[in-house]
Structure 1
Amino acid sequence: MKYLILMLSCLTLLGCVNDVEVYPLAEQRADLRDFDTDGVINARDACAKTPDGAVITNDGCPNHIQTSQEQDLHVLFANDSYVIAPQYGPELDKMADFLEQNPEVTIEIQGHASQVGPAARNQALSDNRSLAVKNALVFRGIDEDRITIIGFGDRVPEFKDTTEQAHSLNRRAVAHVVGYQGDVEYKWTIFTQRDEKEAKAK
């Protein structure tokens, strides 16, 4: 009797299985995942690697705050020379780093000479001094198209007296650039302190 009931139960189950309607799987047309966990799905995330905790736009891109930075370059040369002394290596490194961090910035290098010797010779010296600085930055990885050079000869002395110290300071190549960089704005959390002045300004 037990076996008969068991067999009837199995047959009933098999019949139910055959009656189960199989529904087709839904086709997922968009990627609903969120790989960078910024709250915006991959299908409409325009920035795939948003930093953790950043304030984001509707497109999933981090919001940036514009900040400005300035960088000066001042290289002095020996008399009748356009060879860059090794001591200016760190200053050239800093300028190269600045230009790398601000890829939209271009730079003009201005070469100068002291009012000693023929004007034509001084013009050539100032040209070569600005070119030497340009080559040093290109050697450090800066695209030469971002660098323009100009030589002023001895026409624009920084110091107009005729002392040897003034002449030494006038043998120079200089540049001043300003770069605008966007710093990522981060959300306020329980672990950070909010600047009340900035909060009121917003």
Structure 2
Amino acid sequence: MKTYAALLPFILLAGCAPQDVITMQDVSPQENDLRDLDFDGVIKAREKCVETLIGAAVNNDGCPKDKSVKQSFKLDVKFPNNSADLLPRYYAKLEQLVAFMEEQKEATVTIEGHASKVGSSAHNLVLSQQRADAVAQALVSDFGISASRVEAVGYGDTEPLIDDNSDFAHETNRRVMATLSGSYSTTDMRWTIFTSE
């Protein structure tokens, strides 16, 4: 048994005896460009989108993927008692809304008019619509937003922020609000160790 164990290395080495190695004389030509010129992980031979944004997530053709991003903007404009006059001090808030809408070209906005519980419900419904119309009209006439992107709805006194009969509650409830939600398409970026989401 010891004899076979001693011979085993020699038997194994005999199987690895040197053989003649035949080398190819001709070099195979490289037909495709294997460089990644825009550093997106896709070689030039497969690239269909050149100059990809560095760090963008791409498909197999090297084209960036898009994702939809949603944003929102809140507007709160107050009105004096029994009035639908838009006070000049609120134009700065409207300018912020306009800037948002100019950035989000597909976004539309619904302007919501509200009234306090002072007076009759019927009167408050008309007054709240007039308030919503005043803000909507300012967006269209003074800031050039297309009327097709602006809707005005009066809710009367049906949705108070504070359901109370105090002066503070009435002042708070006489308002126009707008929650504008828009979305835009942007390049989806690859995940990295620095990505927070």
What range describes the TM-score normalised by the shorter chain of this pair?
0.5 to 0.7
Q: 1:180-195 to 2 correspondence within 5 Å?
A: 180-184=183-187, 195=192
Offset from partner CA, 1:101-140 (integer Å, 9 cap, x none): 1122211111111111122221211010000110111121
C-alpha distance in 1 between matches for 2:152 and 2:114: 11
Change beyond 3 A, Cα 1:81–1:60: farther
Identify the residue that residue 110 of structure 2 maps to in structure 1. 108
Change beyond 3 A, Cα 1:133–1:57: farther
Q: Is 1:174 aligned to residue 174 of structure 2?
A: no
Change beyond 3 A, Cα 1:58–1:137: farther
- Corresponding letter in the other structure for 1:164: D
C-alpha distance in 2 between matches for 1:110 and 1:53: 43
Structure 1: runs of 5 or more not aligned: 1-39, 188-193
Instruction: Give the secondary-structure state (helix, strand or coil) at the position aligned to 1:183.
Output: strand
After the TM superposition, which parts of structure 1 deviate over 6 Å for at least 4 consecutive aligned residues? 56-61
Q: Is 1:98 aligned to residue 95 of structure 2?
A: no
1:143 to 132, 146, 154: 146
Q: 1:110-125 to 2 correspondence within 5 Å?
A: 110-125=112-127
Identify the residue that residue 160 of structure 2 maps to in structure 1. 157
Structure 2: runs of 5 or more not aligned: 1-43
Change beyond 3 A, Cα 1:86–1:52: same
**TM-score normalised per structure 2:** 0.63
Change beyond 3 A, Cα 1:97–1:116: same
Identify the residue that residue 127 of structure 1 maps to in structure 2. 129
Identity of aligned residues (%): 34
Aligned residues: 151
Change beyond 3 A, Cα 1:198–1:52: closer
State the shift of 1:89 in Å.
1.2
Higher share of residues assigned helix? 1
C-alpha distance in 1 between matches for 2:104 and 2:119: 39
Q: 1:41-52 to 2 correspondence within 5 Å?
A: none
C-alpha distance in 1 between matches for 2:161 and 2:85: 20
Q: Verify the 8 A CA contact 1:54 1:63 in the aligned structure 2.
A: no
State the shift of 1:80 in Å.
0.9
